[in-house]
A = this chain, B = another copy of it.
Amino acid sequence: MNDEYDTTLQYVEIDYDREKRTGYPEVIFAEGKRKEFILPIFEKIAEKSNVTIATRIDENIAYEIIKIFPKAVYSSIAKVLTLHKKEIVKIGRVAVVSAGTSDIDVAEEASIILEAFGSNVDRLYDLGVAGIHRLLSKQDILNKANAIIAVAGMEGALPSVIAGLVAVPVIAVPTAVGYGVNFNGLTTLLAMLNSCSNGVSVVNIGNGFGAAIQADMINKLAVK
């Protein structure tokens, strides 16, 4: 198995230049990757960048990396491992709203990524449209955000309702919550792309990370 590990690693070319071009270093998408592969890349990024992140990382691998980088922090819900060499000052404000308790893993991925790159986050979870009054009671918090991430599964109605209430971009994240003709989130994604409200854009199913990067960009454009 060592051969495989070595062979693969020799082809990896970390795009160190990316942080300069886009403002964000490479982030390791760890799903399905082995420790022997993740660790050396984590080390290399950590050498050059203040923030090193691995998403969708297995708990066991995360804790092995924490042994080497004791300052790294792991969230078992979001499955995100983050390391800051020096602490980051958080600015602005992004709201992360989710529809049900089953959406929390994706919502937390977004929230943690936002905080890791320096945005303040308001977590507003478990506010599905079956009890619409719960969402309406949070209008004040929504009004303070520079961007809103709306995480939902099933019929994906949440971003439509939110976008009708606010004047900032809503980034919709479909989740694979539902069964039968939910098709692992496809129905939710399609519904969100058909939102009757303006100002909604959508990312891939479960892509809390991608939504967070875009919301972080917007929040920083708003603050700076």
Q: Which of A64-103 contact B (CB under 8 A)?
A: 76-77, 99-102
Q: Is the CB of A181 within 8 A of B194?
A: yes
Q: Is A46 an interface residue (CB 8 A)?
A: no
**Contact among B129, B133, B192, B221 for A222, CB-based, below 8 A:** B221
Chain B residues with Cβ below 8 Å from A123 are 11
Q: A146-B221, A186-B181 are in contact. Are A164 and B130 (CB under 8 A)?
A: yes
A4 to chain B, nearest CB (A): 5
Q: Is A42 an interface residue (CB 8 A)?
A: no
Q: Is the CB of B15 within 8 A of A196?
A: no
**Contact among B22, B126, B195 for A13, CB-based, below 8 A:** B126
Q: Is A104 an interface residue (CB 8 A)?
A: yes
Q: Is A110 an interface residue (CB 8 A)?
A: no
Interface code A185-210, partner B: CB below 8 Å = 1, 0 otherwise? 11111111111111111111111011
Chain B residues with Cβ below 8 Å from A205 are 179-181
Q: Is A141 an interface residue (CB 8 A)?
A: no
Instruction: With CB as the reference atom, state the residue of chain B lying closest to A13.
Output: B126
Chain B residues with Cβ below 8 Å from A11 are 101, 104, 123, 125-126
A26 to chain B, nearest CB (A): 9
Instruction: With CB as the reference atom, state the residue of chain B lying closest to A180.
Output: B205
Q: Is the CB of B132 within 8 A of A165?
A: yes
**Contact among B104, B146, B203 for A201, CB-based, below 8 A:** B203
Q: Is A214 an interface residue (CB 8 A)?
A: yes
Q: Is the CB of A1 within 8 A of B193?
A: no
**Contact among B76, B160, B214 for A155, CB-based, below 8 A:** B160
Bound-state CA distance A7–B101 (Å) is 11
Q: Is the CB of B190 within 8 A of A200?
A: no
Q: Is the CB of B210 within 8 A of A169?
A: no
Chain B residues with Cβ below 8 Å from A32 are 102
Chain B residues with Cβ below 8 Å from A57 are none
Interface code A131-143, partner B: CB below 8 Å = 1, 0 otherwise? 1111010000000
Q: Is A218 an interface residue (CB 8 A)?
A: yes
